[in-house]
Amino acid sequence: MDLYNLTAHELASLLTKRELLPIDICNSNIDRINGVEKSINALAHFDKGLALERSKALNGLPIFIKDNICVKDELTTCSSKILKGFKPPYSATVINKLTKENSVLMGKTNMDEFAFGSSTETSFYGPTRNPWDLDRIPGGSSGGSAAAVSAGEAVWALGSDTGGSIRQPAGLCGVVGLKPTYGRVSRYGLIAFASSLDQIGPITRDVEDSAMLLKIIAGHDSMDSTSADIPVPDYVSLIKKDIKGMRIGIPKEYFIEGMDKDVKAAVLEAIKKLESLGALCEDTSLPHTEYAVAVYYVVATAEASSNLARFDGVQYGLRSEKIKSMIDMYKKTRQEGFGDEAKRRIILGTFALSSGYYDAYYLKALKVRTLIKRDFDEAFKKFDAIVTPTSPTPAFKIGEKISDPLTMYLSDIFTISANLAGIPGISVPCGFTKNNLPIGLQVLGKPFDEETILRVAYNYEQNTEWHKKRPKL
């Protein structure tokens, strides 16, 4: 039995029965890492000795963490040169919650630099590759987490989602990715990209694992002013109810021209499956969807330019050595430390916030963001959940879009709206293209109603075989 192929809940059951030890699971993952990591490059920081030491001392499951979530005294670099060598003096709230569960922190996963990207090609550590086709991207920015889970290097992992960065790579790598409601999971200790959009969430092999991991990391945190003081349900028990009579909306704006034929066919087939399980699926409209990408790339870059101002070489991370003055140090450190995409987003955001342009860009974007949220509010008066494709296409080739930022930005066209509206979303495997590339089905729900989208995803998953397939590496 290959332990690295089992789900977290299967492994947890074996641990409870004392049929295996945490060190057995850790060793299985390490063997798998030794076998496939050179091909995939899913990990940013991994200390085999430390992982083994922890697995001997703790009685929990191993987990990998995205490289933008702080772990005290351990490398946390956002996969950027400018944070080279940075070890935070504190841990994120989600890390403290995992530690209470005796989770074995294995290391950090690769990501797009500062979460700026949809392909995990902008990392200082080089691109991550999709386990289903090593010539293709795994999605981004949590591509390392998705690829590690898909390839069996990780039992499960944490990612962050600002515009689709959990759901899109999960969809492209054939695993499950959940973006909780904004405020459901504490952002304390998450190195910020866009503070009004960021959310930490699970990337797992199946829906039950996502429900388990969400239960661990969710909840109010006084260290995060945007954290919601709302009770956290027992997701695992709630998702196992059927979906008979549940009303599901199918927005026409998510079935666009240029969408991959195999993706469209798989998603329509998935909708039929939901209907066969008793759900009532009807067409609906989210009319302001067409503005989501434009709004996102004003709001997100504006917030990024503000958040990244702190990375200047003064207190931590990289500092340029060839300097003549303090101002020269700021300029050269940021010039040498940030990659092209980070610089692009900082410049775009600074421009949008600048005098004379704030009202024309940032303020207008916030107003349209409100309209996008109202579309969902109206839809959820009638529907319990909304179902869409996760991505308009399967994974594309490495290098195919990296020199064309606008085309790259459109990769998140189906996931961005959920972040702008602050609602929860989950991607679950729903098929494969003719080239054997995974396809994801996205389920969106009302704020703080994660149990409903988990329930829809779980019922679909348990009546199909897609989640059981593994890449051949």
d(CA 419, CA 407): 20
* H runs (alpha helix) in 386-470: 405-409, 416-421, 450-462
- 3 state SS of 119: coil
d(CA 33, CA 235): 31
d(CA 391, CA 264): 10
Angle between helices 93-100 and 207-217 (to 10 degrees): 110
Q: Which of 55, 165, 391, 417 is catalytic?
A: 165
- 3 state SS of 349: helix
Is 91 catalytic? The answer is no
d(CA 324, CA 22): 53
Dihedral (CA of 301, 307, 310, 311) sign: negative
d(CA 204, CA 208): 9
Residue 282 pairs with which residues in a beta bridge? 249
Query: What DSSP letter does each residue of 281-292 carry, written as one string?
Result: EEEE--TTGGGH
d(CA 333, CA 345): 17
d(CA 89, CA 91): 7
Is 165 catalytic? The answer is yes
Q: Which two tokens stand for residue 175?
A: 């695993």
Q: Which two tokens stand for residue 23?
A: 């060190």
Q: Which of 66, 97, 108, 215 is catalytic?
A: 66
Is 66 catalytic? The answer is yes
Q: Which of 123, 141, 160, 427 is catalytic?
A: 141
* H runs (alpha helix) in 152-291: 167-173, 207-217, 235-238, 261-276
Catalogue the active-site residues. 66, 141, 165
